[in-house]
Amino acid sequence: MVTVASGNTAQADQMKMHLEGHGIPVFLHGELGGTVAPHIASAGGASAVRVQVPRSRVEEAKALLAQIEDV
């Protein structure tokens, strides 16, 4: 699994739903920490929730995530 983005719990969940909606499997690394202590899971911070996808889907995932950034 490769990290393609990071954010707080809500941001990571939004990215996960978008990617899974396009058939890309997603693992949220650090999701539990962001749920238990959301104040330490800042976007891009040391305790941010990392959005991870299979190596073979990295480029596709990055392109899909760019779509929601443009909205």
Mean pLDDT for the stretch of residues 29-44: 60
Q: What is the pLDDT of residue 31?
A: 77
- pLDDT at position 39: 54
Instruction: Output the pLDDT for position 69.
Output: 76
The CB-based long-range contact list for 14-18 (8 Å cut-off, 24+ gap) reads 14/68, 15/51, 15/65, 15/68, 16/51, 18/64, 18/65, 18/67, 18/68
The predicted pLDDT at position 46 comes to 55
CATH of the domain at 11: 3.30.70
Give the other-Cβ count within 10 Å of 20's Cβ.
12
pLDDT band at 5 (very low <50, low <70, confident <90, very high): very high
Six-digit token string for 41? 């899971």
Domain around 8? 2-69
Domains in the chain: how many in total?
1
What does pTM read for this prediction? Answer: 0.79
Q: What is the mean pLDDT of residues 42-62?
A: 84
